[in-house]
Every structure is written in C-alpha cells, then in structure tokens.
Chains A and B, each alone.
Chain A
Amino acid sequence: MNKHILATGFSLFALAGSNAWAEHLVAIAGPMTGQYASAGDQIRKGAEMAIADINAKGGVVGQKLKLEIGDDACDPKQAVSVANTMVNKKIIFMHGHWCSSSTIPASEVYVEANIPVVTVSTNPKVTDRGLKNIFAIAGRDDQQGQVAGAYLVEKFKGKKIAVVDDKSAYGKGLADEVAKAMEAKGVKPALRESITAGEKDYSGLVSKLKSSGIEVMSYGGYHTEVALILRQAQQAGLKLTVMGGDTMSNTELATAAGPEANNVLFTFGPDARKNPSAAPVVKKFHDAKVEPEGYVLYAYAAFQLFDQAATKAKSTKFADIEKALRSGTFDTVIGKLSFDAKGNSSAPAFVVYQWKDGKYDYVKK
C-alpha cells in the first residue's frame, strides 16, 4: 500500500515537471526489421529528431508528442495488423508506411479511424484511390518513371536497355512506368523481366542479360537485390549499368555491392541536404552522428507538416488538420509543400543521381 502511494506521488511529481498532463501519440511505421530494415532505421532517426525538436519548442497545440513505432517488415499482412494496433492506441498522426504494398492496405484502416497519413510511398495507387487521409510527400512513380525513361532514352541512345522488376507493388509499378515512358519516346525495352525478391541467386537473369547484349538495366525494386545482381554480373564478366528508383538512396547498397555500386543511377527527389534552409537541421543530424540521407529528412518533414498544420488549425482533430493540409503551403526541410485534392504533393520533380565511392550525388550532365 505504502509503495502505491509512493509511486503515485512520484508519477504526479513527474507529470508536474512536464508542461502537459497528456501527450499526443504520433506514429511511424515501416520495415524496422526484415531485409529493408535500413530504410525503417532512417525513418526512425528522422522522426525522433523531429519530435525532440517539436517538444523542445513546447509541443503541438500545447501538448507534447510521443512516438509510437510500428514494424511491418514490408509485409502487407503485417502492415494491416500494425495499422489496427495503432488505431487502438489512438494515435493522431501516422508517418508511413514505407513500402507501397504496405501503405496501400494500411491506409484503408487509418481512413476509417480518421487518422491523417503522410507517406513517402510512391506508387500512384497510394493517392489515386482518393482516400481523404493520405498525403504523399515523395512524388509518384509515374513522374519518377517519366524522368527515368527520358534519361535512359537520351543518355543511352543506341544501347540495349532491359526493364526488370521484383513483382512488388512499388517495383512493378515503377518498371511499368519507365517502360511506358521509354516507349513514348520511341524506344522499346530490349527485354522485360521479373525476379523474385529475397532470393540470392540471380545468375539466370544475369546470363539472360548478357546473352541479349544488354548494357543498361532499369530496375523497379529495392536496393538489396540490385547489390546482388551487380555482384553476380561482375562475376559473370558483364558490365552493367543499373537505373533504379528512390529506394536506391540507401548506403547499404554501397556496402553490399562494393565498388560495383558506382554503376548505379537512380531517381529521387532533390537532395534536401543541399537546401540552404535545411542547413540548421542537417547540422543537428550531423552533430548527432546521423547522416540525413534517404528518408531521414522526409520523416523530419512529415512531422513538421503535422506540427504546422495543427498549429495553423489550432486543433489536432482530423477534419481540421485535413483542411489545413489541403489549403496551406508548408515550409519543411525538404522544401515548400502543398497538396492537391487527392493528396499528391507539389514536391519538386525527380532528379537523377549517381553513386560514387559510397556517396550519391546529382549525375553529371
């Protein structure tokens, strides 16, 4: 009994120490484990920093934020169960999921519970379903595919280009868009193939590319498979250039593929680390020994969006936040963002990058 009183006393004391009596629960979800876990790690680092910063200035509408982390391992089934758990915990904002194949089913759960979702998933289906709660901040694969397709046709004129995907919602969607964009420019992919993600042996694909005289491969999928394909191509004596999507912005590609990573080009939003306005935040990440690459700054921006929308609406109710997000323009670390009726952002167009000795930068013209 005494212990109880003591404990209550302590918790009251602790609560009195903070400014608020309650906290807003906000969440991120993505592949915290599994073969794409390094992306989940980026999201977590960005979100933790953003929430620390928001809480340091007093929280959102007078209340501090508390982060919940959901792990879907990029498995659509697990994503739905994560979504249900989050709904039960009564979160008021979700940044996630990461894989399009997870975001699409999970967002259906969030929309019923009136939870706003800001995602970096790029499959057009994410926003095309017209859900009222979804806001995509990393562009769409049809835009991405057009940029990649145009670049391939122009840069690799006369070379044989293969289009390969991993059968995932994101990978196949992106590869189809690239192929469409190439065909619109009058170049038909010399080979169209799919592989199974998660395997280790891609020597069949490599031999096929080699025998068809392919020099350039456009790939829709994730970085782990690209690393394996490149290593096996090198072993088979095939010089292969890979053009990938936004998921190639992961240092794991460089460690896993070794020097072969220098043959990887990819499309991604403009590097926010180069924005002068993002410099203070970038410095903060560097001070915390975190390289704000890939999705780190996107996660940071997602919480900035939530904070600014809630502050503008002076409320954390779904309807108010939704209205605020759709009507305003927001100043985030990844640039100025505004949204159309479907939740597509005005995020600046995709840029082509190239890996070079463990780092990526805009490709030289």
Chain B
Amino acid sequence: MALALQQLINGLTLGAVYGLIAIGYTMVYGIIGMINFAHGDIYMVSAFIAVTAFTLLATFGISSIPLSLLLVLLVAVLFTSVYGWTVERIAYRPLRGSSRLAPLISAIGMSIFLQNMVQLTQGARVKPIAPVLVGGIDLLTIDGFTVRLAYSQILIVFVTVALMAGFTWLITRTSFGRQQRSCEQDRTMTALLGINVDRTISLTFMLGAALAAVAGVMVTVYYGVVDFYIGFVAGIKAFTAAVLGGIGSLPGAMLGGLLIGLIEAFWAAYLSAEYKDVATFSILILVLMFRPSGLLGRPEVEKV
C-alpha cells in the first residue's frame, strides 16, 4: 500500500515531465501535420541552459532557492524559445508545401545536429549540478516504509498544473489561440482572412519549445544530472505519450504523459524494471489497435 502510494507520486512526477514535452509534439502536429523529431533535443538544450544558469547564479552568490529557480526558468524559456524559432525557420519553413516526408527527414537531421552540437561544445561527459531542492515531506509510514514526497516533486506537479491551466486559457480564450486553431483547420482560408500564418506557426514552435524548456529545468532540478543524450529517450517517450493521448489534442498529450509515467512507475515497482519499456510500448500498440486516433483524439474525417 505504501509502495503503491510512493509509486503514484513518482509516476505522476515523471508523467508531468513527459506531458510537458508531449504538448510540444502535439501542438506542432496539430498546426502543420508533421512530427518535430528535434523536439526532444530542444528539451535537452534547455536542460543544458538550466545547468549553465544554475552554475552562473551560484558563482554570483545568489542562494535564494525561489529566486534562482525563477531566474533559471526565465533564462531557459527565453533561450529555448529562440532555439525553437530558429529550428522552424531553418529546417521546416523552407520545406513547407513540399512532400510530407521532406520536413520529417529535416527534423531528424536537426535532431542529430543539435545532439552533436551540444556534445562538441559542452563535451560528452555528464554535467551535474549541486542539489537545488533537497529534502521532502514524510507523508506516512506503513510497515516500516515511509512514503516521501520530495520538494522537487511538489514543484514539478505544481508548475505543470499551472502551465496547463495557462495553456488551456491561451488556446481557448485568446485571439492567438483562435488564430492557432484556425491554422489547424485550414491554413489557406486563415491566410485569406488576413492572419499571418507563418507568424502563428513560428509562435507555436516557440511555445512548444518554452514548455520543453520548463520540462528541461524541472528535470535538471529533479535528477541533477544532464548529458547530451537525454533528449532521445525523453523525446521518444513524450512522442509515445502524444500518440497515446491522441496526437493533436492538448489534454490528450498530458493524459498520455501521465499514463506512461504511471505505467512505468508501477511496472518497475511490482513487476520487473527490466521490462518497463516493453510494457509502455505494448500498451501503446494495444491502444492504437483499438483506438487508432489515440485516447482523446478525434478520428480524422475526410470531407468529400
């Protein structure tokens, strides 16, 4: 029982991070119908920016935890959004209107480029930071097992919930959200109505990157160690989350992320950590067999 509760906490934390990255995949897919395979590496870049920022703050002697967290978040979101914008401008915009495969390949190219760039400029070694948020709350003890809620886990869940609320508001209530949704439905018509489609797409990429940046900072705080390769595994898992929840659907991406986090956590604790990924991807296959558009995705109807 205590173990289950502990794994529920761990799984939700992990799932929140996957969900944040998954939203980037799902938004980009929604608006231009392509999978941005470089998204995982954008997340990795943000983790590196976070490590650099934390180290710089430490040398400037800023030791207040809330202040340094806020500053690092701001810096990471800012720089990573610029990365997101640049990636779209260089690798995807010139290919808009070409075959569907072309931007997919350039996305993979971009992913390899970012990975190698970070590896060469930052080195292949893992980059650790001193623990930022230490300690946690002991919730309850059953049979000698103490359920512990780490402060960093509270932070991750809190930030994710706040961001999700903000995002839902942005997409459903603001004029940018309306422009974005109309681009999703019909780009030509949107352009005819006087909306700058290129700008909307760029902004979408930047928003996706900003969310990945938050995930990157959270992961840096939570695990304390980053390397140039973290984008790959996280990217694949988040992509799975997006597909599981229904690609193109924002709540779906979050739901998919949480589900994968929970499946991983419970599988690792009760069955075997060895077959954790097998479980995750088997469930993905099963869901896609019975609901090809994902859990919350709407099936695409071809209009005649």
A residues adjacent to B (C-beta < 8 A):
32-35, 37-38, 167, 193-196, 198-205, 207-208, 210-211, 213, 224, 227-228, 231-232, 235-237, 252, 255-258
Mark each residue of chain B from 124 to 152: 1 if its CB lies under 8 Å from any CB of chain A, else 0.
11101011001010100000111010101
10 closest A-B pairs (Cβ-Cβ)? A204-B268, A37-B124, A194-B274, A203-B10, A256-B128, A211-B3, A33-B124, A237-B148, A235-B150, A200-B223
Contacts of B274 in A (CB 8 A): 167, 193-196
Residues in B160-198 with C-beta less than 8 Å from chain A: none
Interface: B265 (CB within 8 A): yes
Q: Are B276 and A235 in contact (CB under 8 A)?
A: no
Q: What's the minimum C-beta distance from B5 to chain A, rounded to whole angstroms?
A: 10
- Among A34, A193, A258, point to the contact of B130 (Cβ < 8 A): A258
A200-B223, A201-B14, A204-B265 known; A35 vs B131 contact (CB < 8 Å): no
Q: Nearest A residue to B266 by beta-carbon distance?
A: A204
Q: Shortest Cβ distance from B26 into chain A, in angstroms?
A: 22
Enumerate B1-52 residues with CB–CB distance to A below 8 Å.
2-3, 6-7, 10, 13-14
> Of B125, B148, B229, B264, which contacts A236 at CB under 8 A?
B148
Shortest Cβ distance from B289 into chain A, in angstroms? Answer: 25
Answer whether residue B227 sits at the interface, using C-beta atoms and an 8 A cutoff.
Answer: yes
Main SS at interface, chain A: helix
B292 cross-chain contacts in A, Cβ below 8 A? none
Q: Is the CB of B273 within 8 A of A204?
A: yes
Distance, CA A227 to CA B225, complexed state (A):
9
Contacts A167-B274, A231-B131; A204 near B125 (Cβ below 8 A):
no
- Residues 220-245 of chain B: 1 if any A CB is under 8 Å from the residue's CB, otherwise 0? 00011101011001100000000000
B265 contacts across to A, CB distance below 8 A: 203-204
Query: Which one of B148, B225, B267, B273 contacts A195 once the chains associate, using CB atoms below 8 Å?
Result: B273
Residue in A35, A205, A208, A232 whose CB lies within 8 Å of B126: A35
- For B224, the chain A residues whose CB sits under 8 A away are 231, 256, 258
Q: Which residues of A lie under 8 Å from residue B131 when comparing CB positions? A: 231, 258
Q: A195-B273, A200-B219, A237-B146 are in contact. Are A255 and B124 (CB under 8 A)?
A: no
Identify 13 new A-B residue pairs, CB closer than 8 A, beyond the known A210-B145, A237-B136: A34-B229, A35-B229, A204-B10, A204-B276, A205-B273, A207-B268, A211-B269, A224-B126, A224-B225, A224-B227, A231-B224, A235-B134, A257-B128
* A-contact bits for B262-299, CB 8 A (1 contact / 0 none): 00110111001110110000000000000000000000
* Contact A194–B272 (Cβ < 8 Å): yes
Determine if B124 and A204 form an interchain contact, defined as CB atoms under 8 angstroms apart: no
A175 → B minimal CB distance (Å): 12
Least CB separation from A223: chain B residue: B126
- B residues less than 8 Å from A237 (CB atoms): 136, 138, 146, 148
Inter-chain CA distance A168–B272, complex, in Å, is 17
A-B contact pairs, 24 of them (CB 8 A): A35-B124, A37-B123, A37-B125, A167-B274, A198-B229, A199-B233, A200-B219, A200-B223, A201-B10, A201-B264, A203-B7, A203-B14, A204-B7, A204-B264, A205-B268, A207-B6, A207-B7, A207-B269, A208-B3, A208-B268, A210-B6, A210-B145, A231-B223, A235-B134
Q: Which of A194, A201, A231, A257 has the most CB of B within 10 A?
A: A201
B86 at the interface (CB under 8 A from A): no
The distance from the CB of B91 to the nearest CB of chain A, in whole angstroms, is: 24
Q: B63 at the A/B interface (Cβ < 8 Å)?
A: no
B286: min CB distance to chain A, Å? 21
Residues of A within 8 A of B3 (CB): 207-208, 211
Does B128 contact A227, Cβ atoms closer than 8 Å? yes
- The verdict on B119 contacting chain A, using a C-beta distance below 8 Å, is yes
- Cross-interface CB contact of A193 among B126, B144, B230, B273, cutoff 8 Å: B273
State in angstroms the CA–CA spacing of A248 and B273 once bound together: 22
A34 touches B124 (CB 8 A): yes
With known contacts A198-B229, A211-B3, A235–B152 Cβ distance under 8 A: yes
Q: Are the C-beta atoms of B229 and A255 separated by less than 8 Å?
A: no
Chain B's closest residue to A232 (CB) is: B223
Q: How far is the CA of A37 from the CA of B14 in the complex (A)?
A: 27
B6 closest partner in A (C-beta):
A207
Which of B14, B123, B268 is most buried by chain A, counting CB atoms within 10 A of its CB? B268
- A252 and B125: CB pair below 8 A? yes
Contacts of A232 in B (CB 8 A): 223
Q: Which residue of A lies closest to B234 (CB)?
A: A200
Q: Find the residue from A198, A210, A228, A255 having the highest chain B CB count within 10 A.
A: A210
Interface centre among A203, A213, A228 (most CB of B within 10 A): A203
A194, A198, A235 interface centre (most CB from chain B within 10 Å): A235
Does B229 lie within 8 Å of A207, measured CB to CB?
no
Bound: A118/B234 CA distance, A: 37
Q: Which residue of B lies closest to A208 (CB)?
A: B269
- CB-based contact A33/B138 at 8 Å: no
Closest to B9 in A: A203
Are the CB atoms of A255 and B273 closer together than 8 Å? no
The listed residue (B144, B148, B269, B273) touching A194 by CB distance below 8 A is B273
Complex CA gap A213/B229 in Å reads 33
Residues of A within 8 A of B146 (CB): 237
- Which residues of B are found within 8 Å of A202, using beta-carbon distances? 273
In the bound complex, CA of A228 to CA of B269 (Å): 17
Q: Is the CB of A204 within 8 A of B269?
A: yes
State whether A196 and B277 are in contact (beta carbons under 8 Å apart), knowing that A208-B268, A235-B150, A235-B152 are contacts in the complex. Answer: yes
